[in-house]
Every structure is written in C-alpha cells, then in structure tokens.
Amino acid sequence: MFKKSHTKKGSKIISSLISAPFSVISDTTPRRRKTNRDIYECNDEDIKFFKSHKRQIIVAFMVFFVLGIIIFGFEFILYLLMFALFAFLAILNNS
C-alpha cells in the first residue's frame, strides 16, 4: 500500500513528536538568552521540512486527538485546554 520510504518518514515524524518533550527536558546546557529576533527567525530548512511533511504532521495530531478522546473521553479536550492555558501563561511569564 505504502512505499517503504513513506513508512520510514512517517515513523520518524511520530517518534520525533513523542521524543521532543523529553529531549527539551533533558537538554540543560547553558545558553545565552534568546531575543525576539531569535524566537521569530525561521531557517529555510525548517520551512522546507514543514512544507514537505505537512500532511504527516496533521495526521499525527489528528490520530493523537482521536485516540485521546477514545481513551479518556471528552475530558481529554479539557486536559488539552488546560495544557494550552498553562503553555500560554508560561510564554507570558518568560517574556
């Protein structure tokens, strides 16, 4: 059904989505403070990656959302809203 290369790319994206929060937590190297220019600056590589993998990223988030609703019921939406609120407050706190 799928070519071998597509399944490898999809599994890499899913594994990177799963491992991303843990890599951020484990990365404790001291760095200089980020300026607004650093935060809003995008590399060409990042833009190419998101353009070429847009469908896989959207499907991964949809699967995550649907599985969350199936497993945890509609409370999952409340958990996501609380997470978004805390993330927003953390962003406000850092700026």
d(CA 82, CA 69): 15
> Is residue 22 within 8 Å of 69, Cβ to Cβ?
no
For residue 23, the SS3 value is helix
- Determine the structural domain holding residue 70 and report its residue range: 59-95
Does residue 77 sit within a domain?
Answer: yes
Does residue 22 sit within a domain?
Answer: no
pLDDT computed for residue 24 by the predictor: 47
Does residue 5 sit within a domain?
Answer: no
In this structure, which amino acid lies at residue 73?
A: G
pLDDT computed for residue 18 by the predictor: 63
Q: What is the pLDDT of residues 24-54, one digit of tens each?
A: 444 455 555 656 555 556 667 777 777 788 8
Q: What is the pLDDT of residues 58-75, one digit of tens each?
A: 888 888 888 888 888 888
Number of folded domains that form the chain = 1
Does residue 40 sit within a domain?
Answer: no
> Considering only 4-8, 12-16, 37-41, 51-55, which range has the smallest mean pLDDT?
4-8
Does residue 68 sit within a domain?
Answer: yes
Structure-block tokens of residue 32: 């200089």
